[in-house]
Chains A and B, each alone.
Chain A
Amino acid sequence: MTGRARARARGRPPAQTTAVPPVGAAAVQQTFPSQAPGRQQPQQPCVPPSVSAEPGGRGQHRGPVGVPQQQGRRRPEELQVTTGFQELSLADRGGRRRDLHDLGVNTRKAIEHVQESKTGSSGSIIKLATNYFRLTSRPQWALYQYHVGYNPEMEARRLRSALLFQHEKLLGITHAFDGSILLLPKRLVNKVTEVFSRTRNGEDVKITITLTNELPPSSPTCLQFYNIIFRRLLKMLNLQQIGRNYYNPDDPISIPNHRLMVWPGFTSSILQYEESVMLCVDVSHKVLRSETVLDFIYSLYYQVGEERFKEACAKELIGLVVLTKYNNRTYRIDDINWNANPRCTFRKADGTEISYVDYYKKQYNQEITDLNQPVLVSQFRKRGGTIMPGPLVLIPELCFLTGLTDKMRSDFNVMKDLAVHTRLPPEQRQREIERLIDYVRKDDNVQKELRDWGLSFDSNSLSFSGRVIQGEKIFQSGKVFDYNPQFADWSKETRGVPLISSKPLDNWLLIYTRRNYDCANTLLQNLFKVTPSMGIRMAKATMIEVDDRTEAYLRTLQQSVTPETKMVVCLLSSSRKDKYDAIKKYLCTDCPIPSQCVLARTLSKPQTVMAVATKIALQMNCKMGGELWTVDIPLKQVMIVGIDCYHDTASGKQSIAGFVASLNQMMTRWFSRCVVQSRGQELVDGLKACLQTALREWFKWNTYLPSRIVVYRDGVGDGQLSTLVNYEVPQFLDCLKSVGRDYNPKLTVIVVKKRVNTRFFAPSGTSLRNPPPGTVVDVEVTRPEWYDFFIVSQAVRVGCVAPTHYNVIYDTSKLKPDHIQRLTYKLCHMYYNWSGVVRVPAPCQYAHKLAFLVGQSIHREPNLLLSDKLYYL
């Protein structure tokens, strides 16, 4: 659930979410809608999916050379430098060639105690297979980089290229050239070679080819080059590029019930890992829709009617990525212009005005039949070097939707039908991956290309040993529990055991509609049944019947909530979001009282109603400040902070950062705040203020300040690492300094990333399984320039488990890597909405929940009176 929205926003297929943790999964289907999955529409405003997703182009073969091009243009002075070229900051390149792998950020070198080793030691050894393949090159392999100069100067890249390759005999056919930088697998005889070419105008041009660099296999330029080459290979295999990944259109899986089509495909990247340069391949699925945006608009109209039609369109469509009928580009819908239609005209490059209808007819032979449809607007993007002027207009009839809408995402049946095809069990996943490698090894053209460059891939995937950390003991009211490590869940073990701290439910409201009177009673009776064993004292609720209208609920709240009210339970009859939003908004801001919304339907089944009531009782208790269980945390005086972001592009275009900080040693109580900001603003300032108040609150609770602070920072997009290192961390330090001159706590900042392509498989006999929860990997597939590790903390029932990547970007704690890893794993046990291990440390999951609630429903910072409770669960 947590990683899903971002995954979608980046046009990633649901395969990536297959191993979504069971965080709150049970609750998801039972209580509405704070747990409703996938309602989120976040978007990293600065990471538009199609920017990097732009195919180098069917039309413009920019691929191989776009990268050096920028270096060449931006930093011509660097070209002369032979040593130190690798220091070229790749991180500061903007736009299309964003450094999605955060290549230039070396954070390990600043962390003294992990210079020698960053590996942990505890746990039992486990053999692991992965989805990584070593890239091998001939001994003494190097890529030769040349600068190509023209005299007289030639502007057009194509011309430059044509002139240069009049000398193919000299240069050979294997080359990559971007108009100024030439990469060859061989060294020319002379350092400087001069040749002459003639233009079609008969002009003679002197071309000077100067060797500027010999690139070792691991240089950043080489890495980018490998990636480009590999993409070429995928293209040769007739895979279709959509966004960043490649898909096989030959065997689509069609799901006609939902007009969906799933293309199997691959996502790949080649990077320098701990020991060697490796290719990471993962199976990816692209969900495509066999309907146009216009079809979709029509059916939406049919569903919602005139009144809410435009709003519904905006809600469902904005942020989605579309494919056009006439080229292989993806565009993100940023807006819908209802005042325009296909008959509107635009000015072509040559200055003539033409209507969209005529243009598409003439250019692509595409008929636009509905002349009254609105047009879609895709915001201006920088593409390569050229700037696209103004927003782009797209015609709904000529666009196909990709990915899932929020509505589909929350439709259980859609997700179920999809999961059948996309959630591959470990064995099958590995088989698909190996199939690609097989293709690569068997295709003659591909092999020739690789041979020409002197490269090859290992045929077997990388395998090595990881460690499985022991499961934690769960402490609850003086009792200690072990859980079955295979399931990473202790709901059975702790059933009927008193909670660490229970808040009495003695003054509370239960609001329901007439239709749900029976449900309300069922809930009440069952709560009376389940609460005593938990140690929750419960009185009969004040039962209030309301009309099934938002205003009716609100009026009742205004009239009936008193300062003594501890909890408000609203029984809702439909999953209409507006009602939920209104209730949450009122009870989180104007009238700060913990609240619990329950979808009546979840109480309709007698066989599950007890379990549902148990969940609700636990959840309400947490919301009121109760504590459920804890694990042993040996580290003293430590404050744990969790941060996650929610990006709302549909409405308001704002970002919300959720911030939570622990208040006690047992990590059972959390302080929370959130930062709401409009697009373009940096989150940093807000976070600084959050940290300040968190420290103040900590002091109130403990009468001293923490000596250690560990920040788990989630919600960092690809390529944003350097911003974090350069701005956010210094701000944290600043903030700590401002507390007092003598105050000098140890700070650790860990970037948490759920969305990674890394997969681990545990061989078991002849088959492959998911590695067990607690599996830690800190070798081979980590990055040498980082202090990073992977933990598989959750258990999944279907598909492949996705490990979570942790990158310690700042650390003055001097804690051993083993301790950081164990602390992290411990914290994954502390999320109270799920009595099991979750995918990220609890503070991240709490921060996510908070940001999600605020972003989806409240849209401003909740009342601070609630800040020491888990009201957002």
Chain B
Amino acid sequence: MAKNLQEEDFTRIIKFTPPLCKQRYQFIKDLVEKYKPKKVADLGCADCTLLWMLKFCSCIEVLAGLDICASVMKEKMYRLSPLPVDYLQPAERSLTVTLHHGSVAHKDPCMLGFDLVTCIELIEHLEESELRKFPEVVFGFMAPSTVVISTPNSEFNPLLPGVKLFRHPDHKFEWNRMQFQSWALEIAGQYDYSVEFTGVGHPPTGMENVGFCTQIGVFIRKYPQTGELTQSEKPAEAVYKTVFKAVYPSLKDEKYLQNAVVGEVIFTAQIIKQSLLDRLMSEHEYDDDPTERKSKFQPSVNCFSEDLGKLVVGKSMEPFVNGNAVYIPLKTIFSFPKVNRLCGTFEKLCKLIAGKVMLSSDGSAVVFNTECENEEK
């Protein structure tokens, strides 16, 4: 009776904010921010929530998920697809997200070369035989520079309402801190990793001795990456089945870079053209609408006009009108920061826009025909 009452009390007390699963994911996110891994794999990715969170981390270029259950992955995998906006404004970095269907007890070459491998609440779902193979697959074969393993801390269970044996019916075991740490230390020793223990889900005051609700081991590989070695060890066979793959548009891809550059060049050229024409017009005609443009709202708007003033200095860089055509030297366009940043070099700029933008006969300037536009109006 007394015991029951006590449990009742805790049911009210034990409520994690943010929820424990979020805390676990946040832990990984913080780790990613810290180590800036380029390739991250999540083993037991389930509904891909962690992968989805990680896709926003700009350091990551390769994301992979692995799960034994294809349908749970499929349920929400489309949220790993690029968004329309990713196409509208391709990112600097490249990003590929792949989901594999398979078991952590099997080796597949697609899991080689990762910087960080996470196993969040995974090992307790493994059958004994799988658990035995797990260290060799992850630490021996995949051998990433960092591995994170989280699992329930069974010492905390008495504080959780309704937990009789395990927290989830599919759990094959739940370890106390001692059990987990000795397992982890043994692996670390065997595969030349160091390991540190931490956790998420603080125990309530007065019960600190039970430790975190979720215990976490962070393994760091002690030896440097030996890319060549893994290549030679590469097993020929792929055993995982790819269920999803998304390649994000990136400026590293020539196609997207070209689109972006052509777009930016034409847009920039038009701004220059317009301001040139406006200037010419205002010299000739009475200005219809002379509004003073001073304001508190000082956005980077003025950069257009200011940049123009600053940038268009050299005589060779000045845009000019000849007959019905407006010529805007590529050099001028190249001096705009956005174009500059995209192309890097002037030669690259010329190469990228070749055939895509109307140029003067010597190829040094963008040409607009002013006549035809007015004609149509």
Q: When the two chains form their complex, are residues B267 and A252 in contact, meaning their CB atoms are under 8 A apart? A: no
> Does the CB pair A61–B76 fall under 8 Å?
yes
> Which residue, A252, A256, A366, has most C-beta atoms of chain B within 10 A?
A256
Closest A residue to B289 by beta carbon equals A305
Closest chain A residue to B259, Cβ basis: A254
Interchain CA distance A173-B302 in the complex, whole Å:
59
Residues on the A chain within 8 Å of B75, using CB? 61
- List, in ascending order, chain A residues with CB within 8 A of B56's CB: 326, 363-366
Contact string, B281-302, partner A, CB cutoff 8 A, digits 1/0? Answer: 0000000100111110101111
Instruction: Confirm or deny: A288 has a beta carbon within 8 angstroms of a beta carbon on chain B.
Output: yes
Say yes or no for B71: interface residue by CB 8 A criterion.
yes
| A257 neighbours in B (Cβ, 8 Å) | 266-267, 270
Is the CB–CB distance between A412 and B84 below 8 Å?
no
Q: Across the interface, do B57 and A365 meet the contact criterion of CB distance under 8 Å? A: yes
Q: Tell me the bound Cα distance from A58 to B83 in angstroms.
A: 10
Contacts of B259 in A (CB 8 A): 252, 254
Report which of A201, A263, A324 forms a contact with B163, defined as CB distance below 8 A: A201
Contact A298 B301 (CB under 8 A): yes
B242 within 8 A of A: no
Query: With a CB–CB cut-off of 8 A, which chain B residues contact A400?
Result: 84-85, 88-89
Contact present for A306 and B294 (CB under 8 Å): yes
Contacts A235-B78, A323-B85 given; does A306 touch B291 at CB 8 Å? yes
Size bin of chain B's contact surface: 35 or more
Q: Quick one: CB contact mask for A413-425 with B, threshold 8 Å, 1 for yes? A: 1001000000000
Query: In the complex, how many angstroms separate the beta carbon of B74 from the nearest chain A beta carbon?
Result: 9
CB distance from B307 to the nearest CB of A (A): 12
- With known contacts A199-B169, A350-B18, A574-B288, A59–B76 Cβ distance under 8 A: yes
Residues of chain B contacted by A364 (CB below 8 angstroms):
56
B85 & A201 in contact (Cβ 8 Å cutoff): no
Q: Is A193 an interface residue (CB 8 A)?
A: no
Q: Which residues of A contact B302 (CB under 8 A)?
A: 302
CB–CB B376/A288 < 8 A: no
B305 — nearest CB in chain A belongs to which residue? A302
Looking at B71, B76, B84, the one whose CB has the most chain A CB atoms below 10 A away is: B84
Which of B162, B165, B301, B302 has the most A CB atoms < 10 Å from its CB?
B301
> Which residues of chain A (55-102) have a CB below 8 Å from chain B?
57-61
Given contacts A256-B266, A288-B88, A328 and B83 within 8 Å (CB-CB): yes
A691 within 8 A of B: no
| Interchain nearest-CB distance for A269 vs B (Å) | 21
Q: Are A202 and B266 in contact (CB under 8 A)?
A: no
Q: Is B250 interfacial (CB 8 A cutoff)? A: no
- Which of A289, A299, A302, A412 touches B376 (beta carbons < 8 Å)? A412
Q: Which of B17, B161, B297 contacts A372 (CB 8 A)?
A: B297
In the bound complex, residues from chain A placing their C-beta under 8 Å from that of B301 are 298-299, 301-302
Query: Any chain B CB within 8 A of the CB of A517?
Result: no
Q: Please tell me if the beta carbons of A324 and B85 are within 8 angstroms of each other in the complex.
A: yes
Which residues of B lie under 8 Å from residue A298 when comparing CB positions?
Answer: 299-301
Please state if B263 and A259 are interface contacts (CB–CB under 8 Å).
yes
Name the residue on A nearest B275 (C-beta): A302
Task: Point out which of A301, A307, A366 has the most chain B C-beta atoms below 10 A from its C-beta.
Answer: A301
Task: Give complex CA distance A781, B367 in Å.
Answer: 50
Q: Which residues of A contact B266 (CB under 8 A)?
A: 256-257
Q: Using an 8 Å CB-CB cutoff, how does the interface string of B63-93 with A read, 1 for contact, 0 for none? A: 0000000010001101101111101110000
Q: Are A601 and B267 closer than 8 Å at their CB atoms?
A: no
B183 at the interface (CB under 8 A from A): no
Residues of B near A168 (CB, < 8 A) are: 71
For B18, the closest partner residue in chain A by CB is A350
Verify if A705 is at the interface (C-beta below 8 Å from B).
no
B261 CB to nearest A CB, Å: 10
**Is there a chain B Cβ closer than 8 Å to A198's Cβ?**
yes
Q: Verify if B233 is at the interface (C-beta below 8 Å from A).
A: no
Asked whether A254 lies within 8 Å of B263 as measured between CB atoms, the reply is: yes
**A477 at interface, CB cutoff 8 A:** no
- The answer, yes or no, to whether A791 is at the interface (CB within 8 Å) is no
Contact between A58 and B262, CB atoms less than 8 A apart: no
Residues of the B chain whose Cβ atoms lie less than 8 Å from the Cβ of A235: 78
Contact present for B79 and A259 (CB under 8 Å) = no
Q: Name which residue of chain B comes closest to A173, CB basis.
A: B71
A410 to B294, CA, bound (A): 29
Q: Which A residues are CB-close (under 8 A) to B71?
A: 165, 168, 173
Q: How far is the CA of A165 from the CA of B249 in the complex (A)?
A: 36
A58–B57 touching, CB < 8 Å: no
Q: Which residues of A contact B81 (CB under 8 A)?
A: 58, 238, 240
Provide the residues of chain B in CB contact with A370, threshold 8 Å: 299-300
A309 within 8 A of B: yes
Whether, in the assembled complex, A451 has its beta carbon less than 8 Å from a beta carbon of chain B, the answer is no
Considering the chains assembled together, what is the distance between the CA atoms of A289 and B165 in angstroms? 56
Whether a CB of chain A sits under 8 angstroms from the CB of B58 is yes
Chain A: minimal CB distance from B182 (Å): 26
B85 contacts A202, C-beta separation under 8 Å:
no
- Chain A, residues 224-256, CB within 8 Å of chain B (1/0): the string is 000000000001001010100001010010101
Residue of A nearest to B56 (CB): A365
A200 touches B168 (CB 8 A): yes
Does B106 reach chain A (CB closer than 8 Å)?
A: no
Q: Give per-residue flags for A294-322: 1 if the beta carbon is below 8 A from chain B beta carbons, else 0.
A: 10011101101111110000000000000
Across-interface contacts of A308 in B (CB, < 8 A) = 291
CB distance from B157 to the nearest CB of A (A): 11
Is A559 positioned at the interface, with any CB of B under 8 Å from its CB? no
Say how far A550's CB is from chain B's closest CB, in angstroms: 13
Q: Determine if A261 and B299 form an interchain contact, defined as CB atoms under 8 angstroms apart.
A: no
Contacts A259-B267, A323-B84 given; indicate if A203 touches B79 (C-beta within 8 A).
no
Q: Are A413 and B373 touching (Cβ within 8 A)?
A: yes
B82 contacts which chain A residues (CB < 8 A)?
240, 249
Nearest chain-A residue to B22 (Cβ)?
A350
Q: Are A290's CB and B295's CB within 8 A?
A: no
The contact of B88 among A61, A256, A290, A328, by CB within 8 Å, is: A290
Q: What are the interface flags for A32-75 relative to B under an 8 Å C-beta threshold, 1 for contact and 0 otherwise?
A: 00000000000000000000000001111100000000000000
Contacts of A299 in B (CB 8 A): 301
Partner of B291, one of A60, A307, A323: A307
Residues on the A chain within 8 Å of B57, using CB:
365
| A-contact 0/1 string along B141-171, CB 8 Å cutoff | 0000000000000000000011111111100
B163 to chain A, nearest CB (A): 7
Please, how many angstroms separate the alpha-carbon atoms of A365 and B293 in the complex? Answer: 35
Known A299-B301, A400-B85: A198·B169 in contact at CB below 8 Å: yes
B279 CB–A CB distance under 8 Å: no
- Whether A202 contacts B164 in the complex (CB less than 8 A), given A58-B78, A364-B56, comes out as yes
Q: Is A327 an interface residue (CB 8 A)?
A: yes
In the complex, which residues of chain B have a beta carbon less than 8 angstroms from the beta carbon of A372?
Answer: 297, 299
Residue B3, interface by CB 8 Å: no
CB <8 Å contact, A254 and B262: yes
Among B83, B263, B291, which residue has its beta carbon within 8 angstroms of that of A305?
B291
Q: Which of B18, B52, B297, B376 has the most CB of A within 10 A?
A: B297
Q: Is B315 among interface residues, defined by CB-CB distance under 8 A?
A: no
Tell me the smallest distance from the CB of A421 to a CB of chain B, in Å: 15
Alpha-carbon distance between A553 and B122 when the two chains are bound, in angstroms: 78
A201 proximity list for chain B (CB < 8 A): 161-163, 167
Question: CB of B377 within 8 A of chain A?
Answer: yes
Are B304 and A306 within 8 A (Cβ)? Answer: no
With A201-B163, A249-B82 in contact, do A601 and B377 touch (Cβ < 8 Å)? yes
Quick check: B297 and A306 within 8 Å, CB to CB? Answer: yes
Hey, which chain A residues are within 8 Å of B376, CB to CB? Answer: 412-413, 416
11 contacts between A and B (CB under 8 A): A59-B52, A240-B87, A247-B84, A249-B87, A252-B259, A305-B291, A323-B84, A325-B85, A365-B58, A372-B297, A413-B373
12 A-B pairs besides A202-B166, A301-B299 with CB distance below 8 A are: A168-B71, A198-B169, A200-B168, A249-B84, A256-B263, A259-B263, A259-B267, A290-B263, A304-B291, A324-B85, A326-B56, A400-B84
Q: List chain B positions with a Cβ less than 8 A from chain A.
A: 17-18, 52, 56-58, 71, 75-76, 78-79, 81-85, 87-89, 161-169, 249, 259, 262-267, 270, 288, 291-295, 297, 299-302, 304-305, 373, 376-377
